[in-house]
Amino acid sequence: MSDDILTVVLVVLGITSAGICLVAAYRAAEIGRGLVSRVHRNRAYWTAVMLGTLMIGFSDPLPGTLGVDLGMIAYVLFLLLVLPFVDGAILAAEDTDFFHRDTLRWRRLRKPVFAVYYATYATLLVSTFGPSTSPVVAFLSNISPGLFVVPGYAIATLVLVARRTADRNLKWYVGYLGVGLAWLVGSVFLYNPSSIPSSTAEQAVIVVGLYFFYRAVMSLSPLGRIEKEVATTSDQTPHVGGLP
Amino acid sequence: MASTGVPTLDNLLGSDGYPDRSSILVVGPPGIGKEVLGYWFVRSGLVQGDYCLFATHRPVSDVLRDMKGVGVSTERVPEWISSSGSPIMCDLRDATSISFNIKEAVHRNKERRVRVATDVLSPLLVLNPVESMYSYWSQLLSDLKQQDSVVLALAEDGMHPPNTLTTMEQLFDGVIEMKLYEEGLAITPLFRVKKMLGLPPLHGYFRFSVSSTGMEVVPHVR
């Protein structure tokens, strides 16, 4: 297949990725707006924010063509937002645990965990963008891999608390997130910006991964469809709602 | 009639509230706001001088915080049966004690009208076979209705097979379903009254909103 055709396919896949993220983020925000409980509402809103971040990162299949590295911007944002996103899901899942267990002591430790994470995040930023000759920056760049331990602890807590809850929709939500994440991580192995076929295959895998994120959004809360009302001949009862 | 605590809902039901000596089931997914109906129901009872009992699997502190968050005054509080913070404990692993405690509390106050709000139906359904829970709730509701009481039970949609909730709905005199509905790209929280003792079938959907000043219910027009 010629590179021109693959480039067109690549751009279409990029637009598809952006479209999936946009629709999913909108749906998540709408679901959040409809919920009353603060923890469930926050989970929906943080899901919308994360999808917006993914849209920034995955909708530019031809890096550099827009004059800015969207992937790097999305990566920085993702690291900034991943912890509150997972925390929101954990709190919503614990809310549905009838025994109100503090899984892996998350509720007790979340504030210090947040503090440690963002302190380490700041060091990562400094070590990435700071002057390379500074010994302080060199030291900070050695400890910044510890950043990834905290989200790992949060994700482990989320998986455990999802196993404990009886809420099937929440279990599906966590499951779809996991599968989607696996596909997105898998796409990294196809990363080769100098090869159009590899980039196309990578973008196709990303589209599949983002579709699973969309399915996760649809699992935030069961959605019904308004049934069409059948008019009765003796109109003794109020007929409101559901009628065009 | 026992006022629901939400004036627009009382008007909607056309009879100023839930029927006397009735049991009402409110079904909805987590986070939709079912508990708010319970809070306002109890609050309305306290204002009218009814004996109010709230049997919950949650700590009292969590429930009080939620009540304040949706504008329900906590100057007067019901008697609690809860997992913590109340003299009477709610142990989900001992359904018999929950039933005993509810009945005993209601019998002690049989000279007054009684309101019971509870969210233990779903946890007990998850932890016990549906057949035994059907008998359990049938006996409990029957006993409570012999007193002058109105029972409001909350059930979680999404935690039980659909036929389980359909089976349990048969035990109740009224069933209200709260859910998010899709209308094109928009998603709207609506509820519908599937059945209500003493009322003709109430067709249609109703939009509800909850704020720090209270809850409002209006007919939904597409």
Is A184 in a helix, a strand, or coil?
A: helix
B156 vs A contacts (CB less than 8 Å):
96, 166-167
A221 vs B contacts (CB less than 8 Å):
29-32, 180
Query: Average pLDDT, stretch B144-153?
Result: 92
Residue type (1 letter), A7: T
Residue A100 to residue B136: CA distance in whole angstroms: 24
Q: What's the pLDDT score for residue A239?
A: 38
Query: Average pLDDT, stretch B45-74?
Result: 93
Query: Average pLDDT, stretch B41-62?
Result: 94
Q: What's the pLDDT score for residue B147?
A: 86
Give B128's DSSP letter.
S
- Rounded to two decimals, what is the model's pTM? 0.88
Mean pLDDT (chain B) is: 92
pLDDT tens over chain A, length 244 residues: 577 888 888 888 888 999 999 999 999 999 999 999 999 999 999 999 999 998 888 766 555 555 667 777 888 888 899 999 999 999 999 999 999 899 999 999 999 999 988 888 887 777 777 666 666 666 666 666 667 788 889 999 999 999 999 999 999 999 999 999 888 888 877 777 777 778 888 888 989 999 999 999 999 999 988 876 543 333 334 434 433 3
**Phi, psi for residue A27 in degrees, rounded to 5:** -65, -40
Whether A218 and chain B come into contact, CB under 8 Å, resolves to: no
| Angle, helices A3-34/A196-218, rounded to nearest 10 degrees | 20
Q: What angle do CA A173, A177, A181 make, to 5 degrees?
A: 175
Q: Does ipTM come in above 0.95?
A: no
Nearest by CB to B204, from A35, A225, A242: name it: A242
CB contact under 8 A, A226 and B181: yes
Residue B70 to residue A64: CA distance in whole angstroms: 49
> pLDDT: is B117 or A130 the higher one?
B117
Other Cβ atoms within 10 Å of A126 Cβ, number? 16
> pLDDT: is B195 or A146 the higher one?
B195
